Amino acid sequence: NKYWTIKTHIEDAPKEDDFYLKNSTLALSVEPGSKEMIVKNLYVSIDPYQLNRMKSSSSSQKTGGFAVGITPGQEIEAFGVARVVASENPEYEKGNFVVGVVTWAEYSKIGSNGMIRKLDPMGFPLSYHVGILAFSGLTAYAGFFEICKPKRGEKVFVSAASGSVGNLVGQYAKLHGCYVVGCAGSKQKVELLKEKLGFDEAFNYREENDLNSTLKRYFPDGIDVYFDNVGAEMQEAAVANMNAFGRVAVCGVISEYTDSGKKAAPDMLDVIYKRIKIQGFLAGDHIGLFQDFISTTSDHLRSGKLCALEDISDGLDSIPFAFAGLFRGDNIGKKIVKIAEE
Ligand code: NDP
């Protein structure tokens, strides 16, 4: 069995050669009650937060037990869809599709307390269950509806808007009757947001030198909701342009992950006088919304009101390039690696 690991901790932007392939032998414990399984990985999720787990400073304490640090040489856990190939767990049998925490590997061993469940594809491609119908989708759904509490007609700004979470936030916001502007890092992405995903406006932040005036141009009447995926100067400019009682959902700060010197420092007087609410959140805290999220999202997918934007690379070998690409802006939509045929 081949799996990816890191050579040493990664402190800034990841590169392909920060990773190497290792071999392992997987064997099931046949002790009665072992409940172990071996699964063949089919699709795995490629997520920016993994970088924070690869840093030397990463610890379960810092992330509240959510994303524990990765030790060089160890397997790298990731969300994915797989097929059971051997099972000592009476609830699962060979051939079952499962979804949950696997590893960046050909095969993964799932322990008795593995975070995995049986998957009913519900007629959707299996890859949807790694992104739009899984954590990326729940992040967008919970972050937008629960944290931002949007009202019809409000003005919404979303950064990393062509990414996995961002594109969905924009699409949910349009379905909710909001005015939506997104920013992304290329002309092609900006066109896609406007032409294919129905954003009212979009801009390429790389071509703007003064983000504050850029946002004034797109929001002459101010921003009501900012869904922040990037942090740093974009967050500062967004807060400067917020309306009274505006809400900022801090979903992620990707521009700070690769640059430890970079930190958002929004003007706190603005926050006070405009009574702006800035709230971080973790999708995992909103698992109670999962059924609601799945039924709304799958209905919209079936009726064609929601578009699933996926960016799938082929083969286990492509994982380091796919992962490093997140921080270069290579991906358009949910970044997934297909490891094996169904
Ligand atoms: P994306 O699919 O959005 O991929 C990352 C994108 O971020 C890139 O394509 C790139 O697009 C953009 N980006 C990369 N570097 C920078 C930079 N320096 N400045 C600005 N933009 C940059 O990833 P996800 O949708 O999976 O994640 C989006 C955010 O949400 C991340 O910050 C992630 O950590 C966070 N997250 C939080 C969760 C939570 O529970 N709170 C759960 C899941 C994700 P571009 O071309 O626009 O630059």
pLDDT one-digit tens code per residue, 93-107: 999 999 999 999 999
Pair (115, 141) in one structural domain? no
Atom nearest to 189 CA in ligand 1: 46
**Dihedral sign of CA atoms 197, 169, 51, 236 in order:** positive
Pair (276, 227) in one structural domain? yes
| pLDDT (0 to 100) of residue 57 | 83
From the number of C-beta atoms within 10 Å of its C-beta (0-12, 13-18, 19+), residue 220 rates as exposed
Quick check: CB of 80 below 6 Å from ligand 1?
no
Pair (141, 280) in one structural domain? yes
Q: Total structural domains in the chain?
A: 2
CATH number at residue 124: 3.90.180.10
| pLDDT (0 to 100) of residue 8 | 96
Residue carrying the six token digits 């290329």: 186
Degrees, nearest 5: CA angle 181-182-184: 155
Assess if residue 296 is contained within a domain.
no
Pair (125, 171) in one structural domain? no
| pLDDT (0 to 100) of residue 59 | 54
Assess if residue 294 is contained within a domain.
no
| pLDDT (0 to 100) of residue 66 | 53
Q: Whose CA is nearest to atom 32 of ligand 1?
A: 252
| pLDDT (0 to 100) of residue 65 | 52
Which residue, of 267, 284, 301, is where some domain finishes? 284
Pair (125, 220) in one structural domain? no
**ipTM over 0.85 threshold:** yes
Amino acid residing at 118: K
Assess if residue 298 is contained within a domain.
no
pLDDT one-digit tens code per residue, 51-70: 999 999 875 445 555 578 99
Give dist(CA 308, CA 41) in Å, integer. Answer: 22
Pair (91, 23) in one structural domain? yes
Pair (12, 109) in one structural domain? yes
- Show the low-confidence residues of the chain (pLDDT under 70): 59-66
Pair (124, 145) in one structural domain? no
Q: Whose CA is nearest to atom 17 of ligand 1?
A: 255
Quick check: CB of 47 below 6 Å from ligand 1?
yes
Ligand 1 centre distance from Cα of residue 96 (Å): 32
Atom nearest to 252 CA in ligand 1: 32
* Full domain range(s) for residue 75: 2-129+309-338
Ligand 1 centre distance from Cα of residue 333 (Å): 10
Three-state secondary structure of 155-176: EEEECCCCEHHHHHHHHHHHHC
Ligand 1 centre distance from Cα of residue 19 (Å): 21
| pLDDT (0 to 100) of residue 60 | 47
Strand partners for 116: 100
